[in-house]
Amino acid sequence: MRVTFKIWRQDNPKAKGEFRSYDVDGLTKDMSFLEALDQLNENLVLQDEKVIAYEYDCREGICGQCGVFINGRAHGPHDNITTCQLHMRSFTDGDIITVEPWRAKSFPIIKDLVVDRSAFDRIIESGAYISSKTGTAPEANSIPIPKDIADKAMDAAACIGCGACVATCKNSSAVLFTSAKINHLNNLPQGKAEAVRRLEQMTYQMDLEGFGNCSNTGACEIECPEGISIRNIAEMNSSWLRMKLTK
């Protein structure tokens, strides 16, 4: 299998980037997309050229580090997968595959396909935790939680912070990510005590990082590898309005 990769190359955040084309032969349809990029980098090493910088860790759809735009879609042509879960059988022999980094002001490019997503970390640090006294872990059954509430919290907690929601939104909004992290804790008894503070501080930090407003297109839900529902956005907005009306 032979394909042409058209990849964004940029040496550093201040350098001017450009697309460069690379022909890669000898690929198989069972290869993952990242394995195909690995083979391309091996070829570049043999040619004494700079390898392409891209992120990955687990290669199991868990860590969320591998996100890139592939032919104009976050993570590639399929819904609800990460880049590392994409395989070359999704393409045909002779295809031209365009690969570029997330495009968002709040995710500045570090090099090639690598972007700085530390804005997400700062949103998490602003309130996505529960304050509790140190000591032994409490008995799991000591705080009964209805199954529907537990399921709702776990569905929100499934967010891996890959940034596809931001990259695919025409306003570069982080509302889906932020709402999932807020609702995960605010729906549980352990998170109720700090629910208002968490909501206020995390939404404030989100705005401070320069993310845009929700575009209401639902593209974020489609591209999210974990299928995080946009109902989380509605729930967060409703909670935020109640908070403002009662303060």
The answer on 122 and 238 residing in a single domain is yes
Query: 15-39 pLDDT, tens per residue?
Result: 999 999 999 999 999 999 999 999 9
Same domain membership, residue 122 and residue 105: no
* pLDDT, position 141: 73
Q: Which of 232, 129, 91 is nearest to 174 (CA)?
A: 232
- Do residues 102 and 201 share a domain? no
Among residues 57, 92, 111, the one where a domain terminates is: 111
140, 45: one domain:
no
Query: What's residue 244's pLDDT?
Result: 86
Q: What is the pLDDT of residue 132?
A: 74
Report the pLDDT value the prediction gives residue 61, as an integer from 0 to 100.
Answer: 94
pLDDT in tens, 162-174: 999 999 999 999 9
Q: Do 106 and 138 belong together in one domain?
A: no
The total of structural domains in the chain comes to 2
Q: What is the CATH number of the domain that holds 184?
A: 1.10.1060.10
Spatial distance between the Cα atoms of 201 and 203, rounded to a whole number of angstroms: 6
pLDDT at 131: 85
Same domain, 121 and 216: yes
Tokens, residue 85: 């879960």
Check whether residue 10 and residue 102 sit in a common domain.
yes
In terms of phi and psi (left: phi > 0; alpha: psi -120 to 50; beta: otherwise), the region of 15 is beta
**What confidence score (pLDDT) does residue 246 get?**
85
Residues 126 and 171 in one domain: yes
Residue among 186, 176, 166, 189 nearest 242 (CA): 186
Q: 152 and 204 share a domain? A: yes
| CATH code of the domain covering residue 18 | 3.10.20.30
CA distance 107 to 94: 32
Helix (H, G, I), strand (E, B) or coil at 5: strand
Q: Which residues in the chain show pLDDT less than 70?
A: 134, 137-138, 140
Identify whether residues 71 and 144 lie together within a single domain: no
83 and 162 housed in the same domain: no
Of 111, 146, 167, the domain-final residue: 111
pLDDT of res. 136: 74
User: In this structure, are 64 and 95 located in the same domain?
Assistant: yes
Contact between 7 and 49 (Cβ < 8 Å): no
Strands 3-9 and 96-100: parallel
Q: Which domain holds residue 186?
A: 117-246
Q: How high is the pLDDT of residue 37?
A: 98
Q: Which helix (H) or strand (E) holds 164?
A: helix 164-168
Q: Choose one of 50, 76, 111: the last residue of a domain.
A: 111
